[in-house]
């Protein structure tokens, strides 16, 4: 697998036009660039709109990046809405690779539809240990995301990779528990909205636990998201907005009658060193999916340069994108980085 980066649409167009019949291509770019490139895309090319790009030169915004692969080791499946309509096609593709410990599924989801959990639920037939990595496509500020299989626009898709080389998934959280927990006492799961914590209005109680005025709560969302505990794993649920009725809407589902942990920000660069140091091998290729909220934080604190130095020293053959949400195995997360490593 080879990471690619293009500074102009013309360069990306040439790559699409010169793509051989046994070579596939996944490209990540702005919504406008994806729309421009889609008429030229052959059936074994996939395009996805993003909020920013990660390239072999590091973090960029407004370029086109992605990777080439051998089409003979993949199966591309369109995922319809509702996603359960695609379960049979996804299961058929999964059956071809399920016995390969190195195989994985790459999900690209419509980040404006809030359907990630439904998509993951439709993968009920996939074994818990089978690797699933995904990112939610970003919109063009008008609420539309753009995902294409060739020149055909789709809402969501999955690509099964039947890899020969060893693969690994790594999830990085730069947020750690503060020791404070909240009980979700009323929530609209499908609307991703919490109405009350600990029996009190959600915004009021969230602000109280953080020790900030309720009217300033949204200013602390980036530094103090919530965590959902799954056995030993912590999945971040990022708050999106505090509503006039004092409810709080999130970027992922939060269930009633569950506890969530209030998180605080760790040192992102120290965490990255730990993340990369935990890799089981030196990779030849890395797919890097970073949340748009991490991007906001890294831009605010001017961290991307130091991040790039560490990441590209780890593996220069790296590509990826800034997403509206991340999929890790069968969980949907926010404010997270997911890495796929290929030995």
Kindly indicate the confidence band of residue 142, based on its pLDDT and cuts at 50, 70 and 90.
confident
| Over residues 114-120, mean pLDDT | 94
Neighbouring CB atoms inside 10 A of 270's CB total 10
Kindly indicate the confidence band of residue 156, based on its pLDDT and cuts at 50, 70 and 90.
very high
H/E element, 311: helix 304-314
pLDDT of 257 reads 94
- Of 263, 274, 272, nearest in space to 239 by CA: 263
Is 185's pLDDT higher than 90? Answer: yes
The model's pLDDT over 18-60, given as tens digits with 9 standing for 90+, comes to 888 889 999 999 999 999 999 999 999 999 999 999 999 999 9
Is 141's pLDDT higher than 80? Answer: no
**Cα separation of 24 and 71, whole Å?**
5
- The fraction of the chain above a pLDDT of 70, given in percent, is 100
pLDDT of 143 reads 84
The model's pLDDT over 89-113, given as tens digits with 9 standing for 90+, comes to 999 999 999 999 999 999 999 999 9
pLDDT of 230 reads 86
How buried is 58 (Cβ within 10 angstroms: 0-12 exposed, 13-18 middle, 19+ buried)?
middle
- Of 268, 203, 267, 273, nearest in space to 241 by CA: 203
CB neighbours of 99 closer than 8 A, spacing ≥ 6? none
**Quick check: 48 and 147 in contact, CB under 8 A?**
yes
pLDDT of 19 reads 87
**Cα separation of 77 and 104, whole Å?**
13
The model's pLDDT over 189-219, given as tens digits with 9 standing for 90+, comes to 999 999 999 999 999 999 999 999 999 999 9
Strand partners, 164: none
**Cα separation of 156 and 327, whole Å?**
13
Is 231's pLDDT higher than 90? Answer: no
Which of the residue ranges 213-217, 278-282, 308-312 would you say has the lowest mean pLDDT? 278-282
* Average model confidence (pLDDT) across the chain: 95
H/E element, 230: strand 226-230
Show the tokens assigned to 55.
Answer: 């390239």
pLDDT of 232 reads 82
Kindly indicate the confidence band of residue 273, based on its pLDDT and cuts at 50, 70 and 90.
very high
pLDDT of 98 reads 96
pLDDT of 240 reads 93
């Amino acid at each position: 697998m080879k990471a690619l980066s293009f500074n102009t649409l013309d360069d990306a167009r040439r790559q699409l036009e010169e793509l051989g019949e046994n070579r596939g291509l996944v490209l990540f770019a702005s919504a406008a660039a994806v729309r421009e490139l889609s008429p030229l895309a052959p059936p074994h090319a996939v395009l996805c709109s993003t909020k920013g790009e990660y390239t072999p030169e590091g973090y960029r915004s407004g370029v086109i990046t992605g990777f080439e692969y051998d089409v003979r080791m993949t199966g591309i499946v369109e995922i319809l809405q509702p996603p359960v309509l695609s379960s049979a096609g996804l299961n058929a593709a999964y059956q071809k690779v399920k016995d390969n410990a190195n195989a994985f599924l790459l999900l690209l989801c419509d980040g404006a539809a809030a359907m990630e959990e439904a998509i993951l639920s439709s993968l009920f037939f996939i074994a818990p240990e089978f690797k699933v990595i995904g990112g939610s496509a970003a919109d063009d500020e008008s609420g539309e995301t753009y995902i294409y299989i060739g020149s055909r626009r789709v809402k969501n898709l999955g690509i099964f990779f039947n890899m020969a080389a060893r693969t690994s998934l790594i999830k990085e959280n730069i947020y750690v528990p503060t020791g404070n927990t909240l009980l979700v006492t009323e929530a609209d799961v499908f609307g991703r909205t919490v109405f009350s914590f600990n029996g009190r209005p959600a915004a009021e109680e969230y602000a109280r636990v953080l020790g900030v005025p309720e009217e300033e709560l949204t200013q602390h969302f980036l530094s103090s998201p919530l965590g959902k505990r799954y056995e030993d794993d912590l999945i971040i649920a990022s708050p999106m907005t505090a509503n006039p009725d004092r409810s709080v809407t999130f970027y992922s589902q939060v269930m009633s009658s569950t506890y969530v942990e209030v998180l605080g920000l760790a040192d992102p660069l120290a965490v990255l060193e730990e993340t990369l140091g935990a890799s089981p091998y030196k990779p030849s290729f890395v797919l890097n999916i970073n949340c748009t909220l991490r991007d906001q934080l890294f831009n605010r604190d001017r961290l991307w340069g130091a991040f790039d130095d560490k990441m590209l020293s780890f593996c220069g053959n790296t590509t990826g994108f800034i997403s509206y949400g991340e999929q890790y195995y069968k969980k949907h997360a926010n404010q997270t980085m997911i890495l796929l490593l290929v030995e």
